[in-house]
Amino acid sequence: MKNLSAQNISFSDFNLIGFYSLGEWRPLLFIPFFLMFLLSITANSILIYLIICQKSLHSPMYVLIGLMGVVDLFMPVFFVPNMLLSFLFNWNEISLTGCLIQMFCVHFVGSFQSTLLFWMALDRYFAICKPLYYHKYMEISNFLKFIVVPLFRNGLLNITMVSLAGKLSFCLTNVIDHCFCEHMAVVQLACGDISINNLVGLLSAFLIPTADVILITASYAVIFTSVFKSGKAHMKAINTCITHIIVMTCTLIFALTAFMSYRIRNNFSTSSRVFVSTMYVLFPSCFNPIVYGVRTKEIRQRFIQFIREVKVFPLQRNPI
């Protein structure tokens, strides 16, 4: 009878207590995560500003890098401010509706990181392997067919995943041992069968980032084969490809580690699992603009010019 009454109770509010095992040391996490948040916002804002303001950076490749900056700019906003408040003031509460909205935003926007890398790989493929038809393929009317399918896939899988999570009854506990409403961290609190939720989560993991990485790898294999066979000096384009591969590898490692840590037996402590999941979302937002800024010559030159203008402008306003 007691179990039956418990089954009829479904929590509508949750407490996010990520890294709670650190006890009195937990508030100190505010410092590194705040610095990462500040770096992400600043670096991506500068990257977007440079690409918007410099006409020489309005080619398709730089537009895609700018879109990556937009994704990386918004991603931390969905959960880092709440996480920082939790560290400092123990403001841990979130409603079920708010939790589902946060879950959708984090997973939906996060899915575009690998998808954008796929679009960048296509851009490099057309630039190197089909140079005479590059502008034709990269016209929005033609490139749209490569955009619609991934957009539909990302939206369908994420909406399905969040909708199924919203139909569950959460009667076990309302304490989420995480810093944000990650899908499996929430689903595992439900009473009843969650196998379908687990399956959809796995499908999302393998049909979005893994599928994108397979397509990216195939396109780069064709690119490198074409370059080596032709003997052409495409070092600039190859350098850009290597930049994409670095970003892709780091993103995929964190993503798959975070997804699989909930589904296979491992020696991960709860804090380690939360750390990996948090880094999967936050680290690319800090890492991507720096990698593209350092390894992309045109962006690096515009950034140096931007810094010089910032230094000179106050002197012009206040001459000695």
* Cα gap 279→218, rounded to integer Å: 27
In a domain, 2, yes or no: no
The burial class, CB within 10 Å (0-12 / 13-18 / 19+), for 166 is: middle
pLDDT at 10 over 80: no
Question: Which CATH number is 78's domain given?
Answer: 1.20.1070.10
* Cα gap 256→211, rounded to integer Å: 12
**Backbone dihedral region for residue 19 (phi beyond 0: left; psi -120 to 50: alpha; all else: beta):** left
* Cα gap 148→264, rounded to integer Å: 34
Yes or no: say if 309 and 316 are a contact pair by the CB < 8 Å rule.
no
In a domain, 207, yes or no: yes
Residue 295 half-sphere exposure toward CB, CA atoms < 13 A? 20
pLDDT at 4 over 50: no
pLDDT-based confidence at 2, cuts 50/70/90? very low
Q: What is the pLDDT of residue 1?
A: 38
* Cα gap 319→165, rounded to integer Å: 61
Higher-confidence residue of 234 and 201: namely 201
In a domain, 7, yes or no: no
Yes or no: say if 88 and 30 are a contact pair by the CB < 8 Å rule.
yes
Question: In 3D, which of 96, 113, 75, 72 has the Cα closest to residue 16?
Answer: 96
- Provide the number of structural domains found in the chain: 1
Residue 257 half-sphere exposure toward CB, CA atoms < 13 A? 18
* Cα gap 60→139, rounded to integer Å: 9
Calculate mean pLDDT across residues 136-149.
84
In a domain, 1, yes or no: no
pLDDT in tens, 64-106: 999 999 999 999 999 999 999 999 998 899 999 999 999 999 9
pLDDT-based confidence at 6, cuts 50/70/90? very low
In a domain, 246, yes or no: yes
In a domain, 266, yes or no: yes
Tell me which residue range forms the domain holding 271: 12-317
In a domain, 102, yes or no: yes
Q: What is the pLDDT of residue 29?
A: 92
* Cα gap 222→229, rounded to integer Å: 10
Question: In 3D, which of 296, 249, 287, 297 has the Cα closest to residue 71?
Answer: 287
In a domain, 5, yes or no: no
pLDDT-based confidence at 265, cuts 50/70/90? low
Q: Mean pLDDT of all residues in the chain?
A: 83
pLDDT-based confidence at 277, cuts 50/70/90? confident
Pseudo-torsion of CA 223, 109, 92, 18, nearest 10°?
Answer: -20
pLDDT in tens, 247-262: 777 777 777 776 666 6
Percent pLDDT > 70 in the chain is: 87
pLDDT in tens, 21-51: 888 888 999 999 999 999 999 999 999 999 9
